[in-house]
Amino acid sequence: MIMSKIGYKLFIIISLISIGGLILTLFLVNSQVENHFKEYINQEKREEINKLVDVLEQKYQEEGVLELDENLLDNYISNQNIIFYFTNKNGELIYTNLRTQGRRQEDFDLESANQEVLYDQNSNQIAYLYWQLPGRHRVETVQQSRFIENVKQTIFFVAAIIIFISLVVCLLISRHLTSPLLKMNKMAAAIARGDYHLRVKSKGNNEISELGDSLNQMSDRLEYLEKTREESTEDLAHELRTPLAIISNYLTAIKDGIFEADASTIEEMKAELGRLERLVNGLEKFAETEKKLIYSKLEKLNLKNVIKQSVANFRKQAENKGIKLYTSLEDSLFMRGDSDALKIVFNNLISNAIKYSATGDKVKVKLTKENNMLVIRVIDEGIGIPKKDLPYIFERFYRTDKSRSTKTGGTGLGLAIVRKLVRAHNGEVSAKSEAGQTIFKVSFPPLP
């Protein structure tokens, strides 16, 4: 069974803790069993000895004699291993079974033995009965010691089963916890090699599954970026080549006398040149944006003023296209930023909203404060963005429908610029498009 290093460590740690806990419990239970059993036996003995004391007192009362012998012991004491030492009130020995127990009288220590006092009717002390179990740790009879042995064996047997089960469970748990990590490790190594095809299946809802989700997302993105990086160079070449080819074809045709260099041909060529220009401008803007990010001037801005200036740039254009441009801007919402960079953001969003809307549609620009963030929404009622394209529209050169945006003169760079600039201001931008409404939402942290 292959196990990761972390899985092996986890297995060892969990096993040590569970087995350690079990051994401690075992040790406690084991000693408790023996103690309780001894206590129980002692109690049993004490009751027998009390009965013997009663009999001795009775005998003294009836016959006036203090007497103890083996017969009496046989009758009242079930276990013959107890040592007895019976004296009168002056401490003179009346009876002891020390010798039958194989012990010498000098070895018997009255101080440490259990002492029972015998009384006459008038509660005067008449005698003392000392007794002691033969060994402090020895259990009395073979049956008793066998019983304790059996209990201990059962405890050890159960413990062995629990240890076995806990080892198996530990193994399963550590494998369960670390197998996704192993897969993620493999995936991360693949990513490092530039292979973005692997994905992990994330189960449950915990930090490990979240890590798996993040890795999957990262792979998705890297795979996509890698693809767009290749595509964008191809795209750029293609974008440049098409108008160049058209112009070149026109010029060749004119030179060969197939076409006349009339107004409409020149117009067509101008349009293609315009496309080239836009593309170069777009790329220039993109490069400029990157520079701006490095050299931006950050200052305290009243966001309403910045947006108002952007909107003003588009009033004429909207009017010409028959589009109503509304604003609803809260005043005195301040942020730290570069006003030129922010204007590019709003210009691009408003320009797109107008570009992708038709006559009679409305475009709204709103500024509010929500959840302690400054939120700008650019809302239009235009053609909308297909759901499948939404995650990618902020990527460089991404256009939802190439033929459509070629017509509208798009380069697929505008939103990439927007996102770069927004993020440089610690903000976020997102898009939503449904039910005839496309909303671009930009949020920035406010200045206190």
Q: Segment near ligand ADP (CB under 6 A), from 155-163, 194-202, 313-321, 348-356?
A: 348-356
Q: Pick the closest to residue 51 from 88, 74, 77, 89 (CA basis).
A: 77
> Rounded to the nearest whole angstrom, what is the least distance from the CB of residue 411 to ligand ADP in the complex?
5
CB of 386 to ligand ADP, least distance (A): 9
Q: Which amino acid is at 196?
A: Y
Residue 342 binds ligand ADP, judged by CB under 6 A: no
Query: Taking Cα atoms as reference points, which of 55, 116, 50, 42 lies closest to residue 82?
Result: 42
Residue from 118, 356, 420, 443 touching ligand ADP (CB under 6 A): that is 356
Closest Cα partner for 379 from 312, 308, 432? Answer: 432
- Beta-carbon contacts of residue 306 (< 8 Å; ≥ 6 apart): 339, 342, 343, 346
CA separation for the pair 396, 351 (Å, rounded): 17
Number of residues that bind ligand ADP (CB under 6 A): 22
**CB of 97 or CB of 347, closer to ligand ADP:** 347
Q: From residue 180 to residue 209, what is the string marking binding to ligand ADP with x (rule CB under 6 A)?
A: ------------------------------
Integer CA distances (angstroms), 75 to 53, 87, 232, in order: 13, 20, 109
Least separation in angstroms between CB 303 and ligand ADP: 21
* Residue 354 Cα distances to 311, 339, 351, angstroms: 11, 22, 5
Burial (CB count <10 Å: 0-12, 13-18, 19+), residue 39: exposed
Q: Closer to ligand ADP at the Cβ: 133 or 416?
A: 416
Strands 83-88, 125-132: parallel, antiparallel or unpaired by DSSP? antiparallel
Comparing CB distances to ligand ADP, the nearer of 82 and 393 is 393
Q: Which is nearer to ligand ADP, 141 or 281 (CB)?
A: 281
CB of 276 to ligand ADP, least distance (A): 15
Site for ligand ADP in 401-440 (CB under 6 A): 405, 410-416, 438
What residues does 125 pair with on adjacent strands?
A: 119
Per CB under 6 A, contacts with ligand ADP among 376-405 are 380, 382-385, 393, 398-400, 405
* Interface with ligand ADP (CB under 6 A): 348, 352-353, 356, 380, 382-385, 393, 398-400, 405, 410-416, 438
